[in-house]
């Protein structure tokens, strides 16, 4: 197993590593509670320097032929693949994702998404088309500010930085201060892949300082943000002052609609797995399981049995299925929701706020199943971001769709049914950006993003690439 990158880590601005700040942000391993590294606490001045570097690099990078940009993106994918084990170990150390999952998903998905983007460019994707007497061009939007979260730290960075590069943009990146170490590994990969100095700049720091400076900066043409809906509102408000484009991928409270003809055993097993993926710290997790009222108790029994198989413990152990939450603060937040669920009348079928058997040290919470949940309960409305499943009964298909659409969110969802056509028709009625039917596989080239307060804009594939372009019409 590769050793994680745990060290003193700096900003990267204009191709230079800058690590002169006396004020540091400690990176804490949430499983051991030990400090494993630190990054500088960036300032608005650091952001300004990064914007200057990105602006200076924009002219030459935006003029680089598409074939050359495609070759760089291909080398980025290959570089990430070569460092997969080191990346996985780093993410496990800094935010607690179990090593098996970190290797299979956290470190491998960025390889797949960047390879897919390289393939798109290599296959002849055109940044122009003829419409009547107009030549319509897709040109790079300019300097892009990318602000990313801690739950899938490298995946979310690559989802923004690589398509921005492919489109011809330059970048100022602020990774999450909770899990920032992987970002410096990526900067090494970018340099080795031939990304010129200044094209991608890294500024560490906290959201209220560095994030706000990025959103407000007049030299940044677009902000791409992934995080909480609350923080997304703030990014939008600050960015509005300079009328820059804002792409948001925010929270979710996704519904898994189990129809009356579904294979209940499969639907529950897959549903529990999706809820607990990455310790439940997944914006697309199907945290609400909607089941026919007359099968509610059976579904609860199946879910509790499935939850019992999710071992909680040391994330470096390959048998661990749920590691710690990303931080002590996130652990405490999840426990607050567990207690609120009980106070509002939900039944604990497994786990819950009084569960025992967890490691004595670390930010651990129990995998939990709540039964008899009503649509208006807090645990059925708010994003918990932990391994917590709410099971809600419904009377008929109409009510199921109504409940599924009854939150402020609309990021993902699922439908299980014996009749696939029926499931697809229900999926079409769900106000959400992505729906899996009968456990359909994740497609890294399909558009990803939300309806309502889950955000705006799309990531992945050609849709993610086009987010970083402006349209120009030339009439002849």
d(C-alpha 229, C-alpha 156), whole Å: 16
Whether 169 sits among the annotated catalytic residues: the reply is no
Sole residue written with tokens 């204009």: 14
What is the number of residues in the chain?
476
The pair phi, psi for residue 143, each rounded to 5°, is -85, 125
Give the single-character DSSP code of 411.
S
Give Cα separations from 123 to 72, 117, 120, 317 (angstroms).
Answer: 15, 10, 5, 41
DSSP collapsed to 3 states, 82-145: HCHHHHHHHHHHHHCCCHHHHHHHHCCHHHHHHHHHHHHHHCCCCCEEEECCEEEEEEECCEEE
Instruction: Check 283, 383, 459, 467 and give the catalytic one.
Output: 283
Instruction: Tell me the chain's radius of gyration from C-alpha atoms.
Output: 22
Q: What are phi and psi of 38, to 5 degrees?
A: -155, 155
The DSSP element (H or E) to which 69 belongs, if any, is helix 66-82
Q: How far apart are the C-alpha atoms of 75 and 194, rounded to whole Å?
A: 8
Determine whether 94 is an active site residue: no
Q: What is the DSSP letter of 2?
A: P
Q: Are 383 and 227 in contact (CB under 8 A)?
A: no
Exactly one of 94, 177, 212, 249 is catalytic; name it.
Answer: 249
Nearest 5°: phi and psi at 46? -65, -40
| Active-site residue list | 249, 283
């Amino acid at each position: 197993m590769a050793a994680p990158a745990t060290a003193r880590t700096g900003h990267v601005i204009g191709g230079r590593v800058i690590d002169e700040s006396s004020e540091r942000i400690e990176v804490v391993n949430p499983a051991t509670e030990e400090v494993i590294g630190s990054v500088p606490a960036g300032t608005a001045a650091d952001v300004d320097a990064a914007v200057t570097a990105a602006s200076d690099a924009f002219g030459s990078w935006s003029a680089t032929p598409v074939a050359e940009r495609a070759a760089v993106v291909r080398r980025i994918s290959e570089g990430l693949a070569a460092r997969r084990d080191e990346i996985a170990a780093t993410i496990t150390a800094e935010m607690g994702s179990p090593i098996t999952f970190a290797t299979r998903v956290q470190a491998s998905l960025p390889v797949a998404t960047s390879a897919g983007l390289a393939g798109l460019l290599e296959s002849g994707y055109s940044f122009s088309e003829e419409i009547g007497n107009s030549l319509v061009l897709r040109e790079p939007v300019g300097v892009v500010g990318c602000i990313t979260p801690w739950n899938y730290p490298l995946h979310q960075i690559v989802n923004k930085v690589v398509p921005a590069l492919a489109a011809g943009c330059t970048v100022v990146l602020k990774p999450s201060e909770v899990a920032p170490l992987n970002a410096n590994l990526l900067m090494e990969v970018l340099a080795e892949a031939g990304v010129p100095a200044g094209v991608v700049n890294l500024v560490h720091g906290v959201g209220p300082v560095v994030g706000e400076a990025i959103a407000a900066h007049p030299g940044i043409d677009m902000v791409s943000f992934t995080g909480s809906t609350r923080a997304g509102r703030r990014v939008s408000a600050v960015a509005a002052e300079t009328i820059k484009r804002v792409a948001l991928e925010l929270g979710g409270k996704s519904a898994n609609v189990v129809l009356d003809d579904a294979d209940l055993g499969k639907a529950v097993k897959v549903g529990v797995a999706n809820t607990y993926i990455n310790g439940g710290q997944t914006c697309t997790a199907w945290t609400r399981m909607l089941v026919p009222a007359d099968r509610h108790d059976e579904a609860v029994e199946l879910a509790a049995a499935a939850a019992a198989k999710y071992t909680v413990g040391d994330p470096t152990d390959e048998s661990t299925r749920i590691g710690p939450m990303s931080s002590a603060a996130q652990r405490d937040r999840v426990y607050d929701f567990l207690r609120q669920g009980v106070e509002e009348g939900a039944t604990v079928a497994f786990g819950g706020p009084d569960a025992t058997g967890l490691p004595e040290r670390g930010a651990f919470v129990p995998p939990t199943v709540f039964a008899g949940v009503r649509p208006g309960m807090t645990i059925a409305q708010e994003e918990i971001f932990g391994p917590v499943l709410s099971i809600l009964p419904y009377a008929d298909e109409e009510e199921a769709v109504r409940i599924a659409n009854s939150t402020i969110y609309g990021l993902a969802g699922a439908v299980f049914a014996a009749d696939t056509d029926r499931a697809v028709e229900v999926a079409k009625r769900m106000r959400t950006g992505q729906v899996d039917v009968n456990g359909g596989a994740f497609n890294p080239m399909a558009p990803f993003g939300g309806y309502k307060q889950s955000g705006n804009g799309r990531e992945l594939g050609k849709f993610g690439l086009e987010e970083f372009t402006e349209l120009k019409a030339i009439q002849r």
